[in-house]
Structure 1
Amino acid sequence: MRDVIVVGAGGGGPVVAKELAAFGLDVLLLEAGPHYTDPRASWTHYENDANNPLTGFLRFGPSDRDKPAWLREEPQNSYVLQLAGVGGTTQHYYGNSPRAYRGLFAGYDGPDKDAYDTEHAFPFPYEELVPYYEWVEATLPVQTAAMGTKETVFFRGAEQLGIPVQTTKDTLRDSYRPQENAILQPGGTAGLTTDPARLRYPQATGCTYCGFCLEGCMEPIKAPRNQFAKRSTDNSYVPMALTASAWSREGRDVTLIPDAFVLKVHTERRGSRTVATGVTWRDTRTGERHREDAEVVVLAGGATETPRLWLGSGLPNPNGWVGRGYTDHFLDGVTGLFDEETGSSKGPSSAARCDFPGRGALEQLGLPPAMQAFTMALSDSGIRGRYTNGRGMQGPWDGRAGRVLGPELKDAMRNGIDNLVNILILTGDDVQARNRVVLSAFPPDEHGAVAKVIMNGRARTRRTVDNREFLARKATELLRKAGARRVYRYDWAPLLLHVHSSMRMGHSPDDSVLNADAESRWVGNLYVADNSALPNALGGPNPTLTTQALATRTAEKILTKHFGGTPWVRTGTPTPSTDPRISQAL
């Protein structure tokens, strides 16, 4: 019998596992996908090899790449960009780690309070989460992004928008700034050369400016795993969890089992309560099934898989909100074509941003060439100048919004990607019950019923739509002022990358699944610690940092409620994940 079972080793699960293991608890961490213990031996920088959703090493599928990817049903024109494997979707995230906007928390009474989805606010004040933000920021660590040419171009335009530079972790007003990201700053020869012989650890440390964030991080060459530049959880929290006895006085190493797809959460009745008691999981390599029991079960499979597992296990859903409220930042893309070199292929892929609290955010976005072409062709508006599907919005961008193809695409990419600056639009997306995850009517696979993602015809609230249009126009204005000679807007079909809220915590038991401690309202000893636990879309900021801060808080609640521990975040000092004791123990 374990103390705690954590299901999912993505952005949130390893946080809970590491924190509880540091206090000596027996933690089992189960991950459906593979564990790449030596990425340099398993990965490449080839885009199709990495990102092909059917065969890439970064996909939602088993470790054996000769086997098909796992099925999901997406009835609308959309693309769920989520991964299986230790590190989850953080394996290819860009490390962006902004805090949420304050207007989405209980008790906010600022002059712009009506700009937020306060009906679905966090069930506690923003100030309560700040110590957990600080703990995660020190652990990863989160640092100000390294700057280069593309950031200079972005800031040149941002300055002309008439908004100030932001100098605090908390976003209090419209502003621009370097990203706070979970990527180690370049040191030594890193960022100063492209010669692989000079980019070896310890001569080079931190970000080597390779520009391949989307393909996972394995830089610098020969670095210990916990010194890889990008602080995805496979490089930070997972190594800490696996070596807890080496760096924590009370620590006990986490047991990690990859290729372990959880099929069912088990419960039993204890008096008047239903309580989680364990899980059954399937070894995806051998097909064998195993059962493990624990005092506490934590679900951290992500905003799509956690509700699928809940529904597939037949767990209670009396208010019908399991899987509902699926928010996704209603992304869009705008690209500027410049006559000067922008350095889009170099350095951290996203290192600059503008924030517009109550609306959302703009992020500079670097992409490798194939993904650049893919994103320029993902649209709800048809082909620019050919047909519009009834959309094709006109605005300050050149021509109508839509797919960039043919001669226009060739012109845009005539010098590869280093004459482009992309801006990713992140809206403050309102929670809506009709956007949800359900069990598909497709035949089940070897793991049971598969997930169906329903965006209800991509219907949005008026506020969400207005946010997107406002930000698209701001992005276009920024690129024009920075000197772009052409600006393209795509009107993206849903690229479901920042997804959250499908198992949301909240004030009211009428429209939430979790209470303020992230524990299920209907099943005792069952917690959620991934993006699905977020009560809303944070107003637009990237979700991983907030999920990890919330997961740290959830781990503290589990320790104090179930194992007699005492809170530590306000009194302790976090150990950085780059601590040499971790690399020595790996």
Structure 2
Amino acid sequence: MRDVIVIGAGGGGPVVAKELAAKGLDVLLLEAGPRHENPREQWTSFEDDANNPLTGYFRLGPTDRSRPAWFREWSQNSFVWQLSGVGGTTQHFYGNYPRAYPGVFNDYSGADAGEYDKAHRFPFGYGEMVPYFEWVETTAPVMTAAMGRKEERFFRGCETLDLPVQTTKTTRGPSYRPQENAILQPGGTAGRTSDRNLLNYPQATGCTFCGYCFQGCMRPVGGPRNQYAKRSTDNSYVPMALTANVWATEGRAATLIADAYVTQVHAENRAGKLTATGVTWRENASGTEHREDAKVVVMAGGCTENPRLWLNSGLPNPNGWVGRGYTDHFFDWVFGVFDESVGNPKGVGSAARLDFPPYGGLENVGLPPALHAFAMNLSDSGIRGQYANGRGMTGEWDGPAGRVLGPELKDMVSGGLENILSVLVITDDDVEADNRVTRSALPADENGPIPKVHFRARQRTARTLRNREFMARKATELLRGAGAREVYRIDWAPLILHVQSSMRMGESEKDSVVDATGQSRAVRGLYIADNSALANGLGSPNPTLTTQALATRTAERIFQEHFGGLPWVRTESPVVSTDPRVSTRLAELGL
């Protein structure tokens, strides 16, 4: 029998695995998708090769790319950017690690407290989360982003909005700042040359400014896995979990099995309480099934797969909230065209941000050509000047919202991508009970009944719609202030990327799945430790840091309740994921 089984090696699961393995527990980490052990051999910088949702190496599917991707039923047109594999969505994220706004916690009493989703708050105060934020920020590690010309131009626009520069990690009001991100600062020759021969480890360390964050980080060339620049969990927490017996005094290396799809969580009545006892998982390649027992089971398979697995396992859903509250950040895309180069898309994908609680935030984003074309065409408003899909959105930007085509597009790109500065609008979205995951009536796949996602993507609450319009206008003001000669708003169709809260933690047992420790209210010894456990939309900040801080807190609670351990976060100092002991052991393991 294992001590702990963790289902899912994405953004949250490896955090629990690393923390509990460091305490000497026997941890099994199961991942449904592939493990890319040698990215330099398995990945490329070609955008379609990486991000095609059906055939890319970053897709939701098994290791064998000749086999179909796993299917989900969606009830409306939208683009779902989720993937499987060790590292999960952190493999293609931009490494942005802002903290959640204090207003989403239950002790917030600021003047704008009523402007947040007060019905769905975290069941504890912001101050309680701070030590866990700090733990993750040290472990990853998180640092001030390396910046370039596009960030300089973004800040020039911010200066015209009469907002202060933020100098703390806690966002308490409208302000702007460099990103706090989990990408190692460039060192040595990195960031100083474009000569590939001079960008090899250890001559170059950290970010080499390649501009291909979305295709996965595999640089600097020659570096050990835990020295790759972007701190996706396959480069940080997973290596630490696999080498815990080397760097932790009590540590025991976790076991990782990829291409292992969990099809059932087992539970039985013990002392009058339904208790998790283990899982059944199947090998994607052969179909062989295995049963593993454990004292604790942690679900970290994502906002869609966690409810699917729960429902397929026949676990109780007494309040009907398993799968409900499927929440995202109602994104939009606004960009400016300049008469001179602004440095797009070179360097770190996103290294500057503007926060405007309680409405949302803005990030500068640099994309390579194909992804940039995608971003400029994902519109709910049709083609500018041709049709508007019934939306007819106009505002401070130039002309109606929508995708740009014809002579206007030709003129816009005549200066190349270098002359375009893009801003991502990130809105604080409300938790809505009607957004949910159920089991589809379509035929089951090899892993059981497939999920159906009900998502009222275009029928948001009045507060969410207000937030999006407010932030889109702030993006336009920023770009005008930065010197853009033209500003375009795309009015993005729903892009399901920052997803959270489908197995939410909450103050009341009436509308939440897990309690304040991350443990299921219905099944003892069953925990949720990924984005799906988040109580709400965080105010709009990118969810990874809060998810990992919450997962750290959950791991500590597991250690205390089920294994007689003491809390450690407030008394110990975390070991950083770039620790040379980890590098040495990874080299010995051939990783």
Question: What TM-score does the superposition give when structure 2 sets the normalisation length?
Answer: 0.98
Counterpart in 2 of 1:546?
A: 546
Counterpart in 2 of 1:136?
A: 136
Q: Distance in 2 between matches of 1:490 and 1:304?
A: 27
Residues 14-25 of structure 1: matches in 2 within 5 Å? 14-25=14-25
2:86 paired with 1:117: no
For residue 119 of structure 2, give the secondary structure of its aligned residue in structure 1: helix
2:57 paired with 1:96: no
Q: Distance in 1 between matches of 2:65 and 2:194?
A: 31
Counterpart in 2 of 1:485?
A: 485
Which stretch of structure 1 is more off in the superposition, 8-17 or 280-289?
A: 280-289
Unaligned runs of 5+ in 2: 587-591
Q: Distance in 1 between matches of 2:452 and 2:201?
A: 44
Counterpart in 2 of 1:556?
A: 556
CA contact (8 A) 1:392 1:402 kept: no
For residue 488 of structure 2, give the secondary structure of its aligned residue in structure 1: strand
CA contact (8 A) 1:260 1:284 kept: yes
Q: Closer, same or farther in 2 for the Cα pair 1:56/1:415, shift >3 Å? A: farther
**Cα displacement (A) at 1:413:** 2.7
Q: Distance in 2 between matches of 1:441 and 1:213?
A: 37
Counterpart in 2 of 1:572?
A: 572
The AA in structure 1 aligned to 2:65 is R
Counterpart in 2 of 1:303?
A: 303
Counterpart in 2 of 1:450?
A: 450
RMSD of aligned alpha carbons: 0.8
Counterpart in 2 of 1:352?
A: 352
**Cα displacement (A) at 1:515:** 0.4
2:319 paired with 1:283: no
Residues 495-534 of structure 1: matches in 2 within 5 Å? 495-534=495-534
Counterpart in 2 of 1:262?
A: 262
Residues 191-206 of structure 1: matches in 2 within 5 Å? 191-206=191-206
**Cα displacement (A) at 1:224:** 0.5
Counterpart in 2 of 1:365?
A: 365
Q: Percent identity?
A: 68
The AA in structure 2 aligned to 1:228 is Y
Q: Distance in 2 between matches of 1:408 and 1:433?
A: 42
**Cα displacement (A) at 1:137:** 0.1
Counterpart in 1 of 2:589?
A: none
Which stretch of structure 1 is more off in the superposition, 43-52 or 304-313?
A: 304-313
For residue 118 of structure 1, give the secondary structure of its aligned residue in structure 2: coil
Which stretch of structure 1 is more off in the superposition, 561-570 or 306-315?
A: 306-315
For residue 73 of structure 2, give the secondary structure of its aligned residue in structure 1: coil
The AA in structure 1 aligned to 2:123 is P
CA contact (8 A) 2:339 2:415 kept: no
Matched positions, count: 586
Which stretch of structure 1 is more off in the superposition, 335-344 or 531-540?
A: 335-344
The AA in structure 1 aligned to 2:308 is R
Q: Distance in 1 between matches of 2:549 and 2:355?
A: 20
Q: Distance in 2 between matches of 1:121 and 1:457?
A: 22
Which stretch of structure 1 is more off in the superposition, 303-312 or 455-464?
A: 455-464
Residues 245-256 of structure 1: matches in 2 within 5 Å? 245-256=245-256
CA contact (8 A) 1:174 1:355 kept: yes
CA contact (8 A) 1:43 1:57 kept: yes
For residue 418 of structure 2, give the secondary structure of its aligned residue in structure 1: coil
2:101 paired with 1:70: no
Residues 39-438 of structure 1: matches in 2 within 5 Å? 39-438=39-438
Q: Distance in 2 between matches of 1:44 and 1:442?
A: 35
CA contact (8 A) 1:382 1:392 kept: no
The AA in structure 1 aligned to 2:321 is W
Counterpart in 1 of 2:461?
A: 461
**Cα displacement (A) at 1:457:** 5.3
**Cα displacement (A) at 1:483:** 0.7
**Cα displacement (A) at 1:442:** 1.3
**Cα displacement (A) at 1:365:** 1.0
The AA in structure 1 aligned to 2:220 is P
Q: Distance in 1 between matches of 2:80 and 2:414?
A: 29
For residue 119 of structure 1, give the secondary structure of its aligned residue in structure 2: coil
Q: Distance in 1 between matches of 2:486 and 2:43?
A: 36
**Cα displacement (A) at 1:440:** 1.4
Q: Distance in 1 between matches of 2:457 and 2:329?
A: 16
For residue 429 of structure 1, give the secondary structure of its aligned residue in structure 2: coil
**Cα displacement (A) at 1:93:** 0.3
**Cα displacement (A) at 1:305:** 1.0
Question: What TM-score does the superposition give when structure 1 sets the normalisation length?
Answer: 0.99
The AA in structure 1 aligned to 2:407 is P
**Cα displacement (A) at 1:406:** 3.4
1:35-54 Cα distance to aligned partner (Å, 9 max, x none): 00110000000000000000
